[in-house]
């Protein structure tokens, strides 16, 4: 790949006229959310990523949004020409997905995010340019983080997942772990023994990691290995003192743990369908250490009434379904299942014209 991390991918986007830098002063609310929505709704399938570097109240903070928010951006993520059609992107994604077993996780001793380390007086409100994307959101969210965990009794059962996190205090978060998620199974095992579950939260990642962290892989399939398969080269990580592997190319690394026996209110939150979720009790996370690059880039995802950035990221859902169905059922069933109407229900396409998969 021509990039190794978020900032080198942003450079690649700029070289392909797929990045718009906004240096005029903006308010966190409503300017950032309004700009992301305008990019998607106004420019459609060729919308650029946006980076803000003059956010009122946040000094020199930089915020990137809509990084995955168009077919050209998704093609560049895969190392393809930016005009590669969605259907061709889908088939290339399937090909690489099937090379999962060839993925290699490469251990490194140091990473760029080790430039700054904070162990005392952690204040997430100051470290990141937080804002509410939607007026009805119940608080401030980190919504594009890759969360790393492993089963406390079976260390080889590891997971990297994308879970929304609500900032509840300077070093406290609530987290939405659906019971079926891998990390929820890890936490259930730890909580049964009244032990905290160590986790790592990576923010500002290379775009492939964000894709695999939100991909429906099978339990036990390690996302870093899948990232290697999609990159078609070894995926670099650094092992922390808690034994968890952190991605080499992140902007922020937060070390912490999920607290056993504690639940706290989380939400409401603007979902990808365009509605607000309810208020629910979710698990509580304490952050004990923060690492970050100098002048880090905070990444957020545009989400809401389709189409937004999250809808292009749904490309990661169809290849696993396609490959797994093809292995289990006759070819005729696959052709029926992957009709344009089926794909619309999966969120990959908004119309038959946009269909990215074969009929």
The residues annotated as belonging to the active site are 271
Give the closest residue to 165 by CA, choosing from 205, 200, 135: 200
Contact (CB, 8 A) for 22 and 53: yes
Contact (CB, 8 A) for 21 and 48: no
Give the closest residue to 313 by CA, choosing from 38, 72, 93, 68: 68
- CA 10 → CA 62, 234, 292, distances in Å? 12, 21, 18
Residue with tokens 């809808």, as numbered in its chain:
311
Give the closest residue to 217 by CA, choosing from 345, 358, 98: 98
- CA 299 → CA 7, 68, 204, distances in Å? 10, 11, 5
User: How many beta carbons lie within 10 A of that of residue 222, not counting itself?
Assistant: 21
Q: How far apart are CA 173 and CA 171, in angstroms?
A: 7
Q: How far apart are CA 356 and CA 21, in angstroms?
A: 29
Contact (CB, 8 A) for 257 and 295: no
The alpha-helical segments, DSSP class H, found in 56-206 are 71-77, 86-97, 124-127, 182-192
Q: How far apart are CA 205 and CA 199, in angstroms?
A: 16
Contact (CB, 8 A) for 247 and 224: yes
Q: How far apart are CA 224 and CA 204, in angstroms?
A: 16
Q: How far apart are CA 52 and CA 36, in angstroms?
A: 11
């Amino acid at each position: 790949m021509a990039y190794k991390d978020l900032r080198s991918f942003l450079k690649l986007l700029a070289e392909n006229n797929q990045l718009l830098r906004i240096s005029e002063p903006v308010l966190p609310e409503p300017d950032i959310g309004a700009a992301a929505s305008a990019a998607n709704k106004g420019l459609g399938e060729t919308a650029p990523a946006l980076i803000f570097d003059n956010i009122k109240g946040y000094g020199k903070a930089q915020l990137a949004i809509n990084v995955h928010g168009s077919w050209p951006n998704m093609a560049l993520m895969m190392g393809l020409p930016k005009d590669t059609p969605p259907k061709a992107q889908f088939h290339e994604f399937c090909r690489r997905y099937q090379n999962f077993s060839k993925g290699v996780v490469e251990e490194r001793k140091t990473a760029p995010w080790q430039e700054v380390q904070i162990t005392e007086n952690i204040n997430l409100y100051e470290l990141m340019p937080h804002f509410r994307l939607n007026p009805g959101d119940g608080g401030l969210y980190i919504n594009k983080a890759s969360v790393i965990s492993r089963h406390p009794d079976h260390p080889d059962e590891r997971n990297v997942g994308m879970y929304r996190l609500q900032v509840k205090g300077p070093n406290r978060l609530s987290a939405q772990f659906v019971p079926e998620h891998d990390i929820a199974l890890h936490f259930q095992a730890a909580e049964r023994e009244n032990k905290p579950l160590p986790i790592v939260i990576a923010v500002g990642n290379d775009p492939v990691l964000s894709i695999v962290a939100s991909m429906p892989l099978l339990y036990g399939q390690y996302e870093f290995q899948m990232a290697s398969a999609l990159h078609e080269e070894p995926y670099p990580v650094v092992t922390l003192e808690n034994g968890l592997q952190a991605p080499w190319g992140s902007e922020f690394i937060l070390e912490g743990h999920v607290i056993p026996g504690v639940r706290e209110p989380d939400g409401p939150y603007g979902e990808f369908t365009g509605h607000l979720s309810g208020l629910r009790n979710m698990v509580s996370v304490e952050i004990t250490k923060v690492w970050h690059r100098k002048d880090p880039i905070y990444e957020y995802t545009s989400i809401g009434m389709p189409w937004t950035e999250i809808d292009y990221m749904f490309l990661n859902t169809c290849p696993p379904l396609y490959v797994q169905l093809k292995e289990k059922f006759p070819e005729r069933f696959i052709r029926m299942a992957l009709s344009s109407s089926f794909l619309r229900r999966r969120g990959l396409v908004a119309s038959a014209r946009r269909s990215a998969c074969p009929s």
